[in-house]
Structure 1
Amino acid sequence: MKMPSVPKTDELMQTGIHSIEPETVLADVVSYLTRHRLANVLVIRVEDGKKLLLGYISEADCMEHLSNELFYGSPMPIQTAATIMQKHPLCVTSDTDIFVLSSVFISHKCRFLPVVDDKHLLGMVCRSDALKALDQYYRQWVRLHDQERKSIDVHEIMNHRFLVRS
């Protein structure tokens, strides 16, 4: 039995993802997150029919900017997704294998990663989907290696032990 190929991001990613435009005002970003029950949202701009990833906004980012605005007063200009987003998000490519993907999820303690091709957004991969794929790959590996194991022939071991030389 041959081991299947190592799973890659393109097999795991979801293409139907939530996103907002950079001009979206802070209040609408918060409404979008709460309405869709999201912890994060990607900020994109569509250029030539492709989604260009600009950054992302987390619930914590929104809390920070809302509380600052309430405490210090309204800033000028008005806060938008472009002004509050975290630029240069950590991303992976569609050919990233499950081991690199696992390492990134573990090292950076993130729950999702955007999948890009030269800053163009292709989809999103979730840590839980990566875990499922890694578990399936592990189970296949165990089945393969269990079949390769052989029972120990006790008679053969005993015969080697008592070889008589003349």
Structure 2
Amino acid sequence: MGIKSFQGKRAEPEKLQSAPILVEDYMCHSLITFKKEDPLRMVIETLMKFKISGAPVVNDQNELIGVISDGDCMKQISESRYYNMPIGDKRVEEFMETNVPTIDKNVNIFDCASLFYKHDCRRFPIIENGKLIGQISRKDILCAAMKLRAQNWHC
């Protein structure tokens, strides 16, 4: 005679929902962008109005051609004083950074954090099929880390 269990059938273990950890889960889809022919004065006004530190520069096909930052604008302001030339008709294309690292939306946020540290930049544009589809910033990664901590890193 065998031993009988009185526990009955065991329930399947409950699968815990883990927090999303990919760039696409935290990236910004709605972006302020500039064109290379935009006046630098407008860029400065827009950066101040929306309290952002920079934005992608795209062509008419929404392909990334560069990034313009508050630092790029500061360089122009500094040079204009030195050469006694007001900002006037300066354009984005004269000051934007064209060698811009990008990131894939399927990279996990931990690898993304490492890339931020390695590249010393504030934002990564995200490209899909040659088009700009979003951007992730350092602040987005910090936000993701706090959400993950709240869900997974119990003290």
* TM-score, with structure 1 as normaliser: 0.70
Q: In structure 2, what is the equivalent of residue 53 of structure 1? A: 64
Structure 2 stretches lacking a partner, 5+ long: 1-14
8 Å Cα contact 2:23-2:109 kept in structure 1: yes
- CA distance in structure 1 between the aligned counterparts of 2:16 and 2:31, rounded to whole angstroms: 35
Map of 1:2-151 to 2, 5 A cutoff? 2=16, 4=18, 7-47=21-61, 51-74=62-85, 79-142=90-153
Q: Between 102-111 and 84-93, report the one with greater CA deviation.
A: 102-111
- CA distance in structure 2 between the aligned counterparts of 1:132 and 1:32, rounded to whole angstroms: 24
- CA distance in structure 2 between the aligned counterparts of 1:74 and 1:59, rounded to whole angstroms: 19
Query: CA 1:141–1:28 in 2, change beyond 3 Å: closer, same or farther?
Result: closer
CA drift at 1:4 = 2.7
Query: CA 1:70–1:94 in 2, change beyond 3 Å: closer, same or farther?
Result: same
Q: Greater share of helix residues, 1 or 2?
A: 1
Q: RMSD across aligned C-alpha pairs, in angstroms?
A: 2.6
Question: Percent identity, aligned pairs only?
Answer: 23
Structure 1 stretches lacking a partner, 5+ long: 147-166
Q: Considering only CA atoms, is the larger Rg found in Structure 1 or Structure 2?
A: 1
Could you tell me which amino acid in structure 2 is paired with residue 68 of structure 1?
Answer: E
Query: CA 1:35–1:135 in 2, change beyond 3 Å: closer, same or farther?
Result: closer
- CA distance in structure 1 between the aligned counterparts of 2:50 and 2:145, rounded to whole angstroms: 28
- CA distance in structure 1 between the aligned counterparts of 2:151 and 2:51, rounded to whole angstroms: 35
CA drift at 1:69 = 2.8
Tell me the matched-pair count. Answer: 139
Q: Greater share of strand residues, 1 or 2?
A: 1
CA drift at 1:72 = 1.8
- CA distance in structure 1 between the aligned counterparts of 2:133 and 2:34, rounded to whole angstroms: 15
Query: CA 1:3–1:15 in 2, change beyond 3 Å: closer, same or farther?
Result: closer
Q: In structure 2, what is the equivalent of residue 163 of structure 1? A: none
8 Å Cα contact 2:19-2:151 kept in structure 1: no
* TM-score, with structure 2 as normaliser: 0.74
